[in-house]
Amino acid sequence: PGFSVEVLPQLDSTNSTLMERARDGYLQPVLLVAEQQKAGRGRMGKQWLSTQPVGGSLTFSLGLPLEDCDLSGLSLVVGCSLAHSLDPQHRHELRLKWPNDLWYRQRKLGGILVEVCMLGRQRFVVVGVGINISEPPPLPEVDPALPAPMQPAWMQELDPAATAPSVLGQIAQPLALALHQFGQHGFAPWVSRFQVRDALAGQEVWLSDGTQGRAVGVSASGALQVRTEYGLRDVLSDEVSVRPL
Ligand code: BTN
C-alpha cells in the first residue's frame, strides 16, 4: 500500500495536522513526520512531551482512508506491527500493554494514538506513533520521584545505533501493510500475535471504574478480557484505564 511521506522540522502535533487536513478534504494516504512536536498529544488528554535534543524521539502519524471495517482492535494491530518490526526474533523484551503502549522491561517505550475523522460517509483514520529513541541528558520532564514503571524506556537500550530515521525505516512499510490487512480482515488474525506480547496477561489489574480482576487475554474484537469476582468481563473501551495492581 502506497503513501506519500512528508517530513517537517516542527509541528504542534502530527495527529492534529492530519486531522485538520482530513477535515479540509485531504484524504490521501500520508505519513507525516515531525522532527519536533510542540504540542504532542497522548491518550485521554495527556501530553506527549518532545525530548531534547531533537531526534530524541520519533513522532509521526500515518493517515489513510479505512472504510467499512470495525475499528476495534486497530491500536492493538499497530502495536503488534511495531513490536514485530523492532523485535522480529523476540530477542528483546518488547511487550504490548493493552490497549496501545509499547513496553520494554516494565517501562514505556512508545505510545499510539488513533483518531478518526468522518467526512460525510468517508472515514479517515490517523494513527499517531511516538517512540522514545535516546535518553536526553539530563531528563528535565521526568520527575525523579516517579516510580520505576513510570520511567520511560529508550530504543537505544535495545539497539545503541538506533536513530529516529532508522527506526522509522524499520517500521513504516510493515505498519502500512498491517493497516491494509486489518482493513480487510479485522483484528481476529492478530489475536495470537498480540497474546505472545501481552504485558497484562495473568496480571491483577484495576479498572478505572473500581473493579479489580485478572487480565486473561484479548477477545477477537480486541477487548481486554478480565476475570473478576462477577465473572469474565470484556473491557471494550479504550477509555478504560487499566493498570496492574
Ligand atoms: C500515548 O501514549 O498516550 C499515545 C502517545 C502518542 C504520541 C504520538 S507522537 C505523534 C502523534 N502526534 C501526536 O500528537 N501524538 C502522537
pLDDT of the chain along its 245 residues, tens only?
Answer: 799 999 999 999 999 999 999 999 999 999 999 999 999 999 888 899 877 678 899 999 999 999 888 898 999 999 999 999 999 888 888 999 999 899 999 899 999 999 999 998 899 999 999 999 998 776 555 566 666 556 899 999 999 999 999 999 999 999 999 999 999 999 999 999 999 999 999 999 888 778 889 999 999 999 999 999 989 999 976 545 666 54
pLDDT value at residue 146: 62
117 lines ligand 1 (CB under 6 A): no
Nearest to residue 98, comparing CAs of 227, 188, 195, 228?
195
- What structural domains does the chain harbor? 4-195 (3.30.930.10), 204-244 (2.30.30.100)
Ligand 1 atom 15, closest CA? 41
The alpha carbon of residue 82 and the mean position of all alpha carbons in its chain are separated, in whole angstroms, by 8
**Separation of 233 CA from ligand 1 center, angstroms?**
28
Nearest to residue 158, comparing CAs of 111, 197, 103?
103
Distance CA 60, CA 105 (A): 24
Distance CA 94, CA 111 (A): 13
**Separation of 227 CA from ligand 1 center, angstroms?**
30
Contacts of 139 (CB under 8 A, 6+ apart): none
Mutation test of ligand 1: which of 30, 113, 131 has the most ligand atoms closer than 8 Å to its C-beta?
113
pTM higher than 0.90 for the full model?
Answer: yes
Residue 223, CB-side half-sphere exposure with 13 Å CA sphere: 12
What ipTM does this complex have? 0.99
Distance CA 103, CA 188 (A): 22
**Separation of 113 CA from ligand 1 center, angstroms?**
5
pLDDT value at residue 237: 64
pLDDT value at residue 55: 82
Ligand 1 atom 7, closest CA? 130
pLDDT value at residue 239: 45
